[in-house]
Amino acid sequence: MNTLIQKPEEVAEGHYRLRIETPATLVPRPGQFINIRVSTGTDPLIRRPFSVYNYEDGALEIIFRVIGKGTEIMRGYEAGRGIDYIGPLGRGFSLCEHSSVLLVGGGVGNAPLYYLARELKKKNNRITYIYGARSARYIYCKDQYRARADDFAAVTDDGTAGLKGFATTLADEYIRKNAYDRVYVCGPTVMMAAIAASASIAGAPVEVSMENYFGCGVGLCSGCTIETTEGLKRACVDGPVLNGNIIVWQSLTD
Amino acid sequence: MIDTSVQIGPLRLKNPITVASGTAGYGEELSRFYDIGALGAVFTKGLSLKPRPGNRGPRIMETPSGMLNSIGLENVGLERFLGEKLPFLLEHGATVIPNVAGHSIDENVELCAVLSHTPGIVAVELNVSCPNVKEGGMAFGTSMPVFTRLVEAVRKVTAVPLIVKLSPNVADIAEFARGARESGADAVSAINTLLGMKIDIKKKKPHFYNRVAGLSGPAIKPVAVRMVYEIFAKVDIPIIGIGGIADTGDVLEFLMAGASAVSVGTMNLVNPDAAMACVDGIAAYMRSEKIHSLREIIGVAHPTA
């Protein structure tokens, strides 16, 4: 059991940051996730996966959006309580060096890209960041993101922050104009599918972090299997970060 | 030293705690959490001759204290099982019981014939109860004439103990246990998942591509305990109890209802250590209750004649 350092902090409407004390031996890689057992009872039963938002000085942070019974319980956690989690789990992002990279996040899917941007910065990459959200009130920790990026743009569906429109449109424009060495995306499936397509046309490698429903998070149940051109992959152990060009997106977006 | 071993017909297991097919893969993932050789047995993922891709997603949905799954028997096929998966299990000291899930009687016969002559395989479990495949699967387990024909055919070629995993989606599960016994099975596993369904109220249609799915987890435990109890009362055949087992108390419930061993299933997904905690828990229980053999508690909940 790892201790919750502070009460969940609301960083944007309905979005919370959780800080958990973590053994120094378990340093996560960007893109990895932890699988939290929300309650000690049997309801809710299945663990909830959350990608690592940040890791520093033995404290691991996640961002969660309250969407159901599990996250509703988590919102009410008090500081000092034990958090039953397994992790860090899964395959994370690959880290380039001295490269020009584009990071595109959608909604709560921006979370793993913060830790990624931090680590990429250490490796002397030039980072362009597109932060997509439905509305200004759902954007969290914007200044922290901005501070890690060489170029930063926010895009909202309703235009209340940054540009009005979709992150996919701006990403497509950027990808056409610039020769990125790598594109990293995390967000809704349709968004990842569109950006993977843009990157693929431009010939840029693209990595996406899948967020489909996980049964166990450790590879036991094959509940999160994804169709790829290289056969079936379990998102929890073969991912969650996968090469965006091998995913059969149509099988996920129907 | 406590003797936790149990006898299941001709099969002796070092303890009554096993992991259920479909919730343990081929042992590789669980082996990162504990010594899989310390389990009573590992029931591996339902196997077919050729690899199967399984069903289109979504495949999992949480329910109150349980979950629905529509995996559809995704598996590596016989060749890779024998070439990669079985060697791994045996190297790790696991007691291996493959779950056999062929489409047809012929496919099941072929699988059982090969597997039961493969060194290291101590028994086979015949899956007649998967609700998530269109052919075979549950159809084998819910029609008595088809069921007995399949078990008889498989029995003829199976050189190791034969366990039949029963479907709970029948009016009287004890009748199928009796059918299994009369067709030559050595034991039955009870129960597989209950047929369930989820409607997506936004899309106004079933959540699962296959429409129906299998319900498992603590939510089904009372149903499973009742079915084990009924089989034990009516049919003289060893039972492996399955259904929502989460801890040692649950294991004891199944043993007292009449199971000779149990499988931890869905709870492996929630808590990968669950089965090993039960192995330790049963030994601790025997010590504290001064029980010398689990025979003393198997079926003890039934009235004495």
Q: What is the DSSP string of A166-190?
A: -HHHHHHHHHHHS--SEEEEES-HH
Instruction: For residue B244, give the chain A residue with the closest CA.
Output: A42
- The domains of chain A are located at 2-89, 100-253
B130 is catalytic: yes
Q: Distance (Å) from the C-alpha of residue A60 to the closest C-alpha of chain B?
A: 21
DSSP secondary structure string for all residues of A29-50: PTT-EEEEE--SSSSS-S-EEE
**A226 in contact with chain B, both atoms CB, cutoff 8 A:** yes
Q: Distance (Å) from the C-alpha of residue B267 to the closest C-alpha of chain A?
A: 9
In a 3-state reduction of DSSP, which class is residue B273? coil
pLDDT at A116 over 70: yes
**A189 in contact with chain B, both atoms CB, cutoff 8 A:** no
Task: Identify the pLDDT of residue B133.
Answer: 64
Which residues from chain B sit within 8 angstroms of residue A223, using beta carbons?
59-60, 69, 71
**Which residue among A221, A232, A237 sits closest to B269, beta carbon to beta carbon?**
A221
**Beta carbons of B67 and A45 less than 8 Å apart:** yes
> Best interface-test mutation with B: which of A26, A38, A46, A212 has the largest number of B CBs within 10 A?
A46
Task: Identify the pLDDT of residue A212.
Answer: 84
Q: By C-alpha distance, which of A131, A112, A108 is closest to A120? A: A112
Task: Identify the pLDDT of residue B177.
Answer: 98
**Beta carbons of B65 and A213 less than 8 Å apart:** no
- Please give, one letter per residue, the 3-state secondary structure of B125-179: EEECCCCCCCCCCCHHHHCHHHHHHHHHHHHHHCCCCEEEECCCCCCCHHHHHHH
| Candidates B130, B150, B170, B227; catalytic one | B130
pLDDT in tens, A33-49: 999 999 989 999 999 99
The two tokens of residue A28 are 């996560």
- The domains of chain B are located at 6-54+73-192+218-296
Instruction: For residue A46, give the chain B residue with the closest CA.
Output: B270
Q: What is the DSSP letter of B34?
A: S
**Which residue among A47, A237, A251 sits closest to B270, beta carbon to beta carbon?**
A47
pLDDT in tens, B236-259: 999 999 999 999 999 999 999 999
Instruction: For residue A43, give the chain B residue with the closest CA.
Output: B65
Task: Identify the pLDDT of residue A26.
Answer: 85
Q: Whole-angstrom Cα distance, residue A171 to residue A129?
A: 9
Confidence label for A254 from pLDDT (cuts 50, 70 and 90): low
Lowest mean pLDDT among A90-104, A240-254, B181-195, B228-242: A240-254
pLDDT at A182 over 90: yes
Cβ distance B265 to B22 under 8 Å? yes
Q: In the sheet that A163-164 helps form, which strands lie side by side, from edge to edge?
A: A163-164, A151-156, A126-133, A100-106, A182-186, A206-209, A241-243
Task: Identify the pLDDT of residue B129.
Answer: 74
Instruction: For residue A69, give the chain B residue with the closest CA.
Output: B64
A2-89: what CATH class?
Answer: mainly beta
Which region, left, alpha or beta, applies to residue B290 given φ > 0 means left and ψ of -120 to 50 means alpha?
left
- If contacts are CB pairs under 8 Å, which of residues 252-271 in chain B contact chain A? 266, 268-271
Which residues from chain A sit within 8 angstroms of residue B61, using beta carbons?
213
The full length of chain A comes to 254
pLDDT at A25 over 90: no
Residue A7 phi/psi, 5° resolution? -55, 140
pLDDT at A252 over 90: no
Task: Identify the pLDDT of residue A149.
Answer: 96
Neighbours of A4 (CB within 10 A): 19
Cβ distance B151 to B140 under 8 Å? no
Q: What is the DSSP letter of B261?
A: E
Q: Whole-angstrom Cα distance, residue A122 to residue B68?
A: 44
Quick one: which H or E segment has residue B262?
A: strand B261-264
Task: Identify the pLDDT of residue A93.
Answer: 98
Sites in chain B below the pLDDT cut of 50: none
**B116 in contact with chain A, both atoms CB, cutoff 8 A:** no
> Best interface-test mutation with A: which of B19, B29, B216 has the largest number of A CBs within 10 A?
B29
Q: Whole-angstrom Cα distance, residue A164 to residue A153?
A: 11
pLDDT in tens, B54-85: 888 889 999 999 999 999 889 999 999 999 99
Spell A200-238 as b/e; 16+ CB within 10 A means b.
Answer: eebebbbbbbbbbebbbbbbbbbbbbbbbeeeebbbbbb
* A–B interface: beta-carbon pairs under 8 A: 88
Partners of residue A10 on adjacent β-strands: A16
CATH of domain B6-54+73-192+218-296: 3.20.20.70
Task: Identify the pLDDT of residue B136.
Answer: 61
**Beta carbons of A45 and B69 less than 8 Å apart:** no
Q: Whole-angstrom Cα distance, residue B160 to residue B122?
A: 6
The two tokens of residue A50 are 């959350």
pLDDT in tens, A37-88: 999 899 999 999 999 999 998 899 999 999 999 999 999 999 999 999 999 9
Entry pTM: 0.94
Who has greater pLDDT, A57 or A173? A173
Task: Identify the pLDDT of residue A241.
Answer: 97
- Considering the four listed CATH numbers 1.10.3300.10, 3.40.50.80, 3.40.640.10, 3.40.50.1980, the one that applies to the domain covering A100-253 is 3.40.50.80
Q: Whole-angstrom Cα distance, residue A253 to residue A51?
A: 22
Would you say the ipTM is above 0.90? yes
